[in-house]
Structure 1
Amino acid sequence: MSQDTSTRQLETEAPKDDVPAAPTSGPRRSFPRPWTGWAARVRRWREAHPTAAQGLSVSVTVLAAALVVAALVMPNSVVRLGPAKFVRIPAEAVIGAAVMLALPRRPRVVTAAVSGVALAAMTVLNALDMGFNQYLGRPFNVVLDWSLFGDAESYLEDSLGRTATLAAVAGVIAAVLLLCVLLALAMVRLSNLLARHSGTATRGTLIAGVVWITCTSLGLQVSGVPVAADSTATALKTQARRISATLRDEAAFEKVARVDAFGNTPGSQLVPDLRGKDMVFTFIESYGRSAIEDPIMAPGVDQTLDARTKALAKAGFHARSGWLTSATYGGSSWLGHSTTMSGLWISNQQRYRTVMASDHLSLTDAFRKTGAFDTVGVMPGVQKAWPEQKWYGLDKVYNAFQLGYRGPKFSWSTMPDQYALQQYQDRVHSKRPADGKARMSLLILTSSHQPWAPIPKMVGWDQLGDGSVFKGIQAAGNDPADVIADTTKSRQEYGKSIQYSVTALTQWLQRYGSKDTVLVFLGDHQPIARVSGNHASRDVPVSIVAKDPKVLDKIAGWGWTDGLRPAHNAPVWKMSAFRDRFLTAYGSTPHPKKG
């Protein structure tokens, strides 16, 4: 080798001055990719246990398919749940398989994941429909009902405590998120399986489609349930129609609310036949037809109503009773209150907001408008600002914090009805208005609110004090969690709560009512379906009680039953009809407002 060649070779192999030489010693830094170690361990385990790995893979795939199919065919009502509902062929699965087979890898994975989340959302909506049907007798309204979750949380906190409520809320949120993740992963896994076995999957999809069409054409059923299903598509269409109907209803109801048969009636022509009377309107929470006719609840409630009718008769009071069909069911009591007082069918929150913002005449405001009545409300269930006072036309309202109660809460109910009635007596009823007017009072009693545990007991009226007397009664009562979990016990305790509320109210009337007192009392809605039954009516009892025979003579043509217990065949009116019938019966002259 020549010297020039050797020199060029050395120059070529020597490192340049501006390029650092690689270190020849010291620790070498490692940057492993995420999950590389985990993936390697899984791969080694699968190689070491091929049979177990294959079995596990098949099991996960089967579970993924079962989860997706269950979500696709899930009904939205508890009464329609059953094994036959989940052994059906969903059309959405057939169409979804065809779409997945047609897509390239990346769009397929994205579509599968998004479809899984969307299916989870529909499953949650179906579950909400189940809950709302069970508790409120109607499906969930995706436009209007989100605000009710705050009320539900407050109810749980009052019934079960803050810790249990927080745990329940966290559990629900975690369950919804887990469902979204699981269904997305399940859809991706199934789509990948279809792509890996496209030939077999294509033939299977075609066969499934033919079977679905055949079952639909022939109307094939298993245990009365059609084999071919399109539950998710139907649910989606139902939700779309419901949203559209809600938006249309909002606009239409605004026009209806502006029309009022008594909207322009001067005060001098409103309820002239009740001038000078001591008017008391009272709602009893969840006092429904089932309390009087259900074989579990009725014996005790009917006995109480008959006994209290006799006791009132001895004191000179007589009653007539009928039925009203409530605009709500199982809850949302304010819809029943406002329907009765407005003469409008207020069946959802949007209608309620519309009426509260209007000048539509309430029955309570009709008394105020006469100039002959002071108006007052006693509402132990109101625990926050209540702007609705203006629409109701109440000069004064006593809420839960203004009645001096120092005893324990009874689950949701802030105080026993007997205590609230005694406070009404001491603060309002025993004091005549300074200006010589009569008085119209609105009372909303709460002791019969679910979960009906613990339930107060009657004590001596002169022993009520600040309510501390109820501490022992509350402590000895049932645990709400025990009653909520037991349907039979819920029915029994519900019946007892109605007996308590009716007894407290009628004892108050017997003790403190005068020759001019007129008591109108009714239920706001039926109890939840788990208590009243899945096919119960929405009817509630209504009674008018008075000493003055002329008061009841005015409604003789109504066909109502004598006493506090309406007959099974007594007239049934929509709750929204009561206001106008009542105003007309007691001499009011219609002067329509046409909007």
Structure 2
Amino acid sequence: MPNRAENFRLAEFTRLPVEGLLGAAVLVALPRRARVVTAVLGGIVLGALTVLNLADVGFNEYLGRGFNVILDWQLLDDAQSYLADTMGGTVALLAAVGVVALVLVLLALMALAVVRISTVLGRNTARSTRGLLVLSAAWMTCASLGIQVSGVPLASEHTVTTAKDRVDRVRETIRDERAFAKEARADAFGGTPADQLVPDLRGKDIIFTFIESYGRSAIEDPIMAPGVDSTLASSTEALAKAGFHAKSGWLTSATYGGSSWLGHSTTLSGLWIDNQNRYRTVTAGDHLTLTKAFQKTGAWDTVGVMPGVQKGWPESKWYGLDKVYNAFQMGYKGPKFSWSTMPDQYALEAFQRLEHGKKRDKPLMSEIILTSSHQPWGPIPKMVGWDELGNGSVFEGIEKAGNKAADVIADSEKSKEEYGKSIQYSVTSLTQFMERYGTDDTVLVFLGDHQPIARVSGDHASRDVPISIVAKDPKVLDKIADWNWTDGLRPATDAPVWKMNLFRDRFLTAYGSTPHPTKD
């Protein structure tokens, strides 16, 4: 059974599996009672491998990688929560029950199937042995001659190869955990005194903003790009009229399709955090995040605006945020838009009302996560007058008139179209916020956290995301002139591409920070 959706074709199921021949040979050689016990155990193993293959299909589709038997079990709980927030609690419960039932049925039916085969083989062991010899000769002939059907080898070792890959993945995960713990304790700026951190940004209001699922595909895919590129062009022009200018490049994200927190933590920590184990390790330590660097100076107030956070979030301390506003602390009384608890425009207006617009003794450093472009991209909010936002109830009619999640989530073409519209909405919300509330001292850094899922970005799409820095003060952008980023909000196709974890150190260095490494 293939472990990628795109490989589900007839040729994949016409192969002659060497594991089947070996298993049949063992069953023929055993006495009846031992044969039945072995058949049951073998069937359960085959059922488990089938379940893992199905998990691989899902993870490859949504996260661009296979299922890790050590790390990924807890993500299944996140998947159920996502379904509950998107499609409703009843759908999530039925899906969970369905998954459990499917696993049990697969294990039971596979065991029964192998028992049945063992019974057939045992009725006439001599004839079964002759048949196995013929099939084994056929397998060896196909293997030696490289015979294929539609590009797929007829002689297969797929199950052995897949099982070996899973074992190797487990070993690599264990090795990686030890190595990363050591890596996380070393930090190029870990010992830098407070007065030597970002001195060239003193007095500036710094806003770090992540736009959910804002990936390279939004800018270059023929279906999404026309609308998104038009929005980026018009937003660049509008910002310029307000006195702001921008430079943009590409970062290669540590995640794909989901697990946004891995992209956030990679960007801000300077470490490559591409799995949950690494995330737990680094957030339990004191590795310096980019946001915490501003807190450490004592020259900034720090705040987080997190409309996607709906429960306790102890990581806020690691990020260096003095105060965090979650989904329930921004006064929103309007409808949810599928998974997103509130429209981006409202979250930004709440940020202005609660923090950004207040008089204060220190400038403000903020981290904002915008969620309106989160899958399934239905329904999508629309811009309203900023003075009409109120408590968010103005969005009730917009939500009711929008597409239903179920009508978008299973349709690849519709998903692409609506995804593109959601990115246009998020970018418009953010740039209009800057036009309306930005000052001479406002500096905005915004980027995507990862590409959208394969159904939208395409199979084997890159992991690149756009990143832009926007400011009125020309000195801010002059500091990064040697980065060779593109002028405006749309990075050129050949603009520099960095791994996402390189951004922290390059940003700190560009704005005058002095490295003082700490070592393991």
Question: Is TM > 0.5 for Structure 1 vs Structure 2?
Answer: yes
- 1:35-58 Cα offsets, whole Å, 9 max, x none, are xxxxxxxxxxxxxxxxxxxxxxxx
Counterpart residue number, 2:267: 340
- 1:529-577 Cα offsets, whole Å, 9 max, x none, are 1100012100000000000000000000000000000000000000000
Pair 1:258 & 2:258 matched: no
Distance 2:108 2:65 in 1: 29
Counterpart residue number, 1:524: 449
Counterpart residue number, 1:387: 314
Selected match of 1:551 from 476, 494, 510: 476
Distance 1:566 1:246 in 2: 35
Distance 1:334 1:462 in 2: 32
- Percent identity between the two aligned chains: 71
Distance 1:483 1:492 in 2: 9
Distance 1:371 1:178 in 2: 59
TM-superposed CA distance for 1:432, in Å, is: 2.9
What amino acid does structure 2 have at the position aligned with 1:527? P
Q: Report the secondary structure of 1:347's partner residue.
A: coil
- 1:183-223 Cα offsets, whole Å, 9 max, x none, are 11110000000000211110011111111111111111111
Count, aligned residues = 520
Distance 2:163 2:359 in 1: 59
TM-superposed CA distance for 1:388, in Å, is: 0.1
Distance 1:380 1:466 in 2: 14
Pair 1:568 & 2:493 matched: yes
Distance 2:148 2:20 in 1: 19
Distance 1:438 1:458 in 2: 29
TM-score by length of 2: 0.99
Equivalence map 1:36-47=2 (5 Å)? none
Selected match of 2:246 from 290, 299, 319: 319
Pair 1:156 & 2:83 matched: yes
Selected match of 1:248 from 170, 175, 182: 175
Structure with larger Rg: 1
TM-superposed CA distance for 1:79, in Å, is: 1.9
Distance 2:90 2:181 in 1: 42
What amino acid does structure 2 have at the position aligned with 1:548? D
Pair 1:192 & 2:119 matched: yes
Counterpart residue number, 2:348: 421
- 1:71-125 Cα offsets, whole Å, 9 max, x none, are xxx0111122210000010001100111001111111001101111110100010
What amino acid does structure 2 have at the position aligned with 1:471? E
What amino acid does structure 2 have at the position aligned with 1:137? G
Distance 2:85 2:378 in 1: 11
Equivalence map 1:405-416=2 (5 Å)? 405-416=332-343
Distance 2:8 2:393 in 1: 46
Distance 1:458 1:143 in 2: 43
Distance 1:235 1:267 in 2: 51
TM-superposed CA distance for 1:453, in Å, is: 0.3
Distance 2:366 2:137 in 1: 68
Distance 2:144 2:194 in 1: 66
TM-superposed CA distance for 1:270, in Å, is: 0.3
Pair 1:496 & 2:421 matched: yes
CA RMSD of aligned residues (A): 0.6
Counterpart residue number, 2:64: 137
TM-superposed CA distance for 1:398, in Å, is: 0.3
Counterpart residue number, 1:581: 506
Selected match of 1:471 from 377, 396, 402: 396
TM-superposed CA distance for 1:485, in Å, is: 1.3
Distance 1:497 1:443 in 2: 17
Distance 1:564 1:300 in 2: 14
TM-score by length of 1: 0.87
Counterpart residue number, 1:180: 107
Distance 2:509 2:466 in 1: 21
Distance 1:593 1:80 in 2: 47
TM-superposed CA distance for 1:491, in Å, is: 0.3
Distance 2:320 2:432 in 1: 28
TM-superposed CA distance for 1:275, in Å, is: 0.1
Distance 2:394 2:363 in 1: 33
> For structure 1, which runs of at least 5 residues remain unmatched after alignment?
1-73
TM-superposed CA distance for 1:481, in Å, is: 0.5
Counterpart residue number, 2:28: 101
Distance 1:295 1:169 in 2: 36
- 1:417-465 Cα offsets, whole Å, 9 max, x none, are 00000000000001133xx211100000000000000000000000000
Counterpart residue number, 1:356: 283
Distance 2:460 2:316 in 1: 35
Distance 1:483 1:493 in 2: 8
What amino acid does structure 2 have at the position aligned with 1:292? I
Distance 2:403 2:110 in 1: 41
Q: Report the secondary structure of 2:378's partner residue.
A: coil
Distance 2:6 2:414 in 1: 20
Selected match of 1:373 from 294, 300, 304: 300
- 1:471-498 Cα offsets, whole Å, 9 max, x none, are 0000000010010111000000000000
Distance 1:394 1:166 in 2: 35
Counterpart residue number, 1:404: 331
Selected match of 2:139 from 194, 201, 212: 212
Distance 2:319 2:496 in 1: 27
Distance 1:154 1:474 in 2: 21
TM-superposed CA distance for 1:173, in Å, is: 1.3
Selected match of 1:90 from 17, 21, 27: 17
Q: Report the secondary structure of 1:515's partner residue.
A: coil
Structure 1 moving runs of 4+ over 2 Å: none
Counterpart residue number, 2:366: 441
